[in-house]
Chain A
């Protein structure tokens, strides 16, 4: 099973709202990732967690706050977002941070009004 699940599938939020995106994998992978993808662009890395610790933060604004409660779960907390943050947010996982192959979830399509 190479499945990464993400909820919700779609999210519409105002600029003053607080919401969270959730990601789950049961493949025993120890590295999990958040990506942002705009239309017709490749995914852009935001955060990497390795063994539940934040290992990479690609200078993402503080209105995005990641959390890794355990080895299977990854959250992305959103607060005071801007319309330009509207995008597809993808979660991925891999066996380890140094592993080459990442498996992606279906994404959450976020619209900020």
Chain B
């Protein structure tokens, strides 16, 4: 049982480049989330989705876009990467509100 899988695990980007992070879950969960983790700042919510075809902004959405075309996938896009987006990104999913969230292993992104 794979759970939540993030692709890629590591990436180095140059300033201004674009990329897409993929999150896939095989638990048939409705809710999916993207967080970034920075030292001393915990996990900050970027965007989230409560079902296929829906997305919503979190605490720090600027510079990111998301899509949820299929229930099992949640994509996070960076159109023009900036050094401030250097971080570890985590995807999570859960069945509905007020339930356990399952996290992926993270993507370490460095923007130079």
**B is a partner of A:** no
User: What is B's interface to A at a CB cutoff of 8 Å?
Assistant: none
User: What is A's interface to B at a CB cutoff of 8 Å?
Assistant: none
